Amino acid sequence: MNTMKTPLLITLLCLLTLNTTFSQESCSKFYPLEEGSSFEYTSYDKKGKTDGSVNYTITDVRQEGSASAATFDMKFKDKKGKDVFESSYSFSCENGLVTVDYKSLFPSQMMQQYSEMGLEMDISGTDIELPNDLSVGQQLNDANVTIAMSMSGINMNISVDQTNRKVEKKESITTPAGTFDCYLLTENSITKTMGSTIEMSSKLWLAEGVGMIKQESYKKNGNLVSRSELTSYNK
Distance (Å, whole) CA 33 – CA 72: 10
Other CB atoms within a 10 A radius of the CB of residue 59 amount to: 14
Other CB atoms within a 10 A radius of the CB of residue 107 amount to: 19
**Per-residue model confidence as pLDDT tens for the chain (235 residues):** 433 333 444 444 444 444 433 334 446 577 666 788 899 999 999 999 999 999 989 888 888 888 777 788 889 899 999 998 787 777 777 766 655 555 555 555 555 666 667 777 777 777 677 777 789 999 988 888 888 888 777 888 888 888 999 999 999 999 999 999 999 999 999 988 888 999 999 999 999 888 889 999 999 999 999 999 999 999 8
Q: How many domains does the chain have?
A: 1
Buried b (16+ CB within 10 A) or exposed e, 18-53: bbbbbbbeebbbbbbbeeebbbbbbbbeeeeeebbb
Distance from the Cα of residue 13 to its chain's centroid: 5
Going by C-beta distance under 8 Å and a sequence separation of 6 or more, which residues neighbour residue 207? 30, 173, 180, 181, 182, 183, 213
Q: Give the containing element (helix H, strand E) for 192.
A: strand 178-193
Instruction: With beta carbons less than 8 A apart as the criterion, state whether 111 and 89 touch.
Output: no
Question: Up-side HSE of residue 94: CA atoms within 13 Å toward CB?
Answer: 9
pLDDT in tens, 188-204: 999 888 889 999 999 99
Helix-, strand-, coil-residue percentages of the chain, each rounded to 5? 15, 60, 25
Instruction: With beta carbons less than 8 A apart as the criterion, state whether 184 and 172 touch.
Output: no
Domain CATH number, residue 79: 2.40.360.20
Instruction: With beta carbons less than 8 A apart as the criterion, state whether 22 and 100 touch.
Output: no
Q: Which domain holds residue 16?
A: 2-234
DSSP state of 11: H
